[in-house]
Structure 1
Amino acid sequence: MRLGGRRRAAGRHAGGRSRDRRASPEAPPTVAAPAPAPAPAPAPAEDYPTVERPAVAAEPVAVAAHRDLSGVPLTPPTAGNGLHAVFKKRYLLKLLVKRELSARYQGSFLGLLWSYIGPLCQFFVYWFVIGTILGLHDNVPNFGVHIFCGLVVVHFFTETFGAGTRSIVRNKSIVVKLPMPREMFPVASMLVSLFHVFPQLVILTIACLAYGWTPDFVGMVALLLGLLIAMLLGTAGALLFSAANVFFRDFSSLVSIIQMFIRFSVPMIYPFSFVDDRFGAAASYYLFNPLADCVLLVQRAFWVGSTPHPDEVAKTDLPPDLLIWGLAMTGAGLVLLAIGQLVFSRLEAKIPERL
């Protein structure tokens, strides 16, 4: 019974599948894809146009491939350093000067007016203490102009020397990252200080004109010599001390002590006649101080002409052959600048790793 039932069920299932096949529509006939057209036969070689190409010389490649670089010395990326390279890259120097000026007066309400306020405050302190309390008003004609001539030179030198000494340490992020002449930082400090000299000269000129001062050729030559000597000395000291300050930060404190002595080592709060009267013939050794010559040259340019008797003052309060001394000190300043550059170049390679 079970076997017969299974056979009948299988028969019904097979019959149902055959009926489904008859009831389903016929499948569409398969259409064969057309055969691809045969590719055209290539043209003979003589049918192609002939294009003449210029011959490429392989000699430079061969030379570059066989060049022997074993004898070429390795140079740092800041090759070509020195003061000459600084002025060849004047665009970088200009950017540093602008950056220094903007950083100095950033967030300041008065801004550039501080270039006038600072020297004027120093002038009034010296004028009151030395002139009024100690009574030098009676011994020195136009004592205020006499002091201010010295302040212009002293402020220019001390600012160049002090800011230049700290310039590399203050800009260590730039010194480490950028391949550039590192002498550029002390030079930029000198140019910023020179920029601040001009407002002081404007004040000095106005004060001298009020006393009837008339500029003359010798005085203008003396002014240029005085500023040039201060510029050379300040840059030389900045180069020397900025490199040394990287290794020993004590040099920045030493500069502050030197700046304090400078104000009393030049004829600013006292006339040169005091030195001449006290030391006599030995007073000529006083002129071996280059900054003293700078102050005397600027006094020749402004102070002497503002006094009631310029010829008499020039004979009694200025040394003879002052311009010759100025030329000699200019040469000494150039020698000191060369020494500062030499020391800086010797220490420059170790500056980044010490910062």
Structure 2
Amino acid sequence: MKTVIENLQHRYHYAMVVLKELVKTDFKLRYQGSFLGVLWSVLKPLMLFAVMYVVFVRFLRFSDGTPTYAVSLLCGTCLWSFFSEATGMGMRAIVDRGDLLRKIHFPNYIIVASTTMGSMISLLINLVVIIFFGIFGKAEFTWWVLLVPFSIIQLYLLALGVALLLGTLYVYFRDVSHIWEVVLQGLFYATPVIYPISMITSQPNFAWAAKILMLNPSTQVIMDVRRNLLAPDYVDTVWTMIGNPWLRLLPYVLTLLILWLGVHVFRKYSAKFAEVL
């Protein structure tokens, strides 16, 4: 067993060193030249949350009737911001780092992984902010919070799989960025970030639509984090809305399938990236 671990460390040591340095570089360059620097990783989702709160909660009166809805909105905003940023930046990572690929030999997937890891750092910072607001927003912290890291890992794997797939396509077809913007906008409105899922379940003719939305991995992850982190008794999840035990597993299977597809497509075409670029 010790020999296997040593072989793995020797095999991936160079890749891990490159990944670490790229993550540090990307995260520093992301806010280079700005006055507030890293604080923007917190301020951007907070400002987006403020706009959504004023428009959808105060004016349009969106609410699920629970005291934690405002904090749930903040949580959903931060999680969605991570997914949007990680997939968008991951999609352009190979093209933006094309000069590096031609000069240095290292596994190409590290470039995509480094950009998504930079977004993950911002998300972890935002989670601290969410917990802080949750303390004053009547959140119910229970032992279910121990499951939150698993949901965050699932969201990261989902974003990484999408980023690898989009990053490969973007090398050959630049139109992918415009298509993904439209798809991402559609996914945003199909995910209960700004509206509670109860708004759909309360409509008898559309209760089935809520169950379909819950089978979407992005929806499942966001609702799981909200329930386990903030309000165990108030938030619906795939486990409470879907009766079929096999269907409950569908979002998790889709996450792994998307990750596998992204890795498979990326590995198949990554050898020609330097030539195409």
TM-score interval, smaller chain: 0.7 to 0.9
Partner of 1:248: 173
Find out whether 1:225 has 2:150 as its counterpart. Answer: yes
Task: Tell me the TM-score normalized by structure 1.
Answer: 0.68
CA contact (8 A) 1:156 1:197 kept: yes
2:60 match: 134
**CA 258–179 in structure 1, closer or farther in 2 if over 3 Å, else same:** same
Q: Among residues 236, 253, 256, which one is paired with 1:334 in the alignment?
A: 256
Which residue identity is paired with 1:329? P
Unaligned runs of 5+ in 1: 1-84, 306-310
CA–CA distance in 2 between the matches of 1:111 and 1:158?
Answer: 20
Q: What is the aligned-residue RMSD (CA, Å)?
A: 2.3
Query: For residue 269 of structure 1, what is the amino acid of its counterpart?
Result: I
Relative contact order: is structure 1 or structure 2 higher (C-alpha 8 Å, sep ≥ 6)?
A: 2
User: 1:346 aligns to what?
Assistant: 268
1:294 aligns with 2:221: yes
Residue of structure 1 equivalent to 2:127: 201
8 A contact 2:211–2:241 mirrored in 1: no
Report the counterpart of residue 4 of structure 2 in structure 1: none
Identify the residue that residue 153 of structure 1 maps to in structure 2. Answer: 79
Are the structure 2 counterparts of residues 294 and 95 from structure 1 closer, same or farther at C-alpha, using a change threshold of 3 Å? same
More divergent stretch after superposition (317-326 vs 189-198): 317-326
Q: Hey, what's the Cα distance between the residues in 2 that align with 1:180 and 1:218? A: 40
Deviation, structure 1 residue 281: 4.1
1:1-355 equivalent positions in 2, closer than 5 A: 89-137=15-63, 139-221=65-147, 223-278=148-203, 279-304=206-231, 311=233, 313-314=234-235, 317-321=236-240, 328-355=250-277
Secondary structure, aligned partner of 1:264: helix
1:45 maps to: none
Distance 1:337 1:137 in 2: 34
* Secondary structure class of the residue paired with 1:181: coil
Deviation readout 1:293-346 (Å, 9 max, x if unpaired): 0110111023315xxxxx3x24xx445447977765333212211111111112
Do the aligned partners of residues 322 and 184 (structure 1) sit closer, same or farther apart at CA in structure 2, a change above 3 Å counting?
Answer: farther
For residues 137 and 190 of structure 1, the distance between their equivalents in structure 2, rounded to whole angstroms, comes to 32
Q: CA deviation at 1:226?
A: 2.5
Seen in structure 2, the aligned counterparts of structure 1 residues 326 and 181 have a Cα distance that, compared at 3 Å, is farther
Secondary structure of 1:203's counterpart equals helix
Letter paired with 2:276: R
Give CA-to-partner distance per residue, 1:198-221, whole Å, 9 cap, x none: 221111111110134342222331
Residues of 1 paired with 2:240 and 2:178: CA distance? 37
Query: What whole-Å deviation, never above 9, does each CA across 1:195-246 have from its counterpart, x for those lacking one?
Result: 001221111111110134342222331x223212211111011111111111
Distance 1:280 1:106 in 2: 47
Identity %: 28
> In structure 2, what is the Cα distance between the partners aligned to 1:299 and 1:214?
11
345-354 or 241-250: which moved more? 345-354
Q: 1:284, CA displacement in angstroms? A: 2.2
State the structure with more CA Rg.
Answer: 1
- Distance (whole Å) between structure 2 residues aligned to residue 138 and residue 290 of structure 1: 21
156-165 vs 225-234, greater mean Cα deviation: 225-234
Change (3 A) 1:188 1:328: same
Query: How far did 1:142 drift?
Result: 3.1
How far apart, CA to CA, are the structure 1 residues paired with 2:86 and 2:12? 17
More helix by share: 2
Letter in 2 for 1:258: V
Q: Secondary structure at the match of 1:166?
A: helix
Measured after TM superposition, the shift of residue 137 of structure 1 is 4.7
**Whole-angstrom CA distance in 1 between matches of 2:252 and 2:89:** 22
Letter in 1 for 2:105: P
TM-score normalised to structure 2 length: 0.86
Q: Is the 8 A contact 2:63 2:196 kept in 1?
A: no
Q: How many pairs align?
A: 262
Change (3 A) 1:215 1:342: same
Contact preservation (8 Å) 1:225, 1:326: no
More moved, 228-237 vs 119-128: 228-237
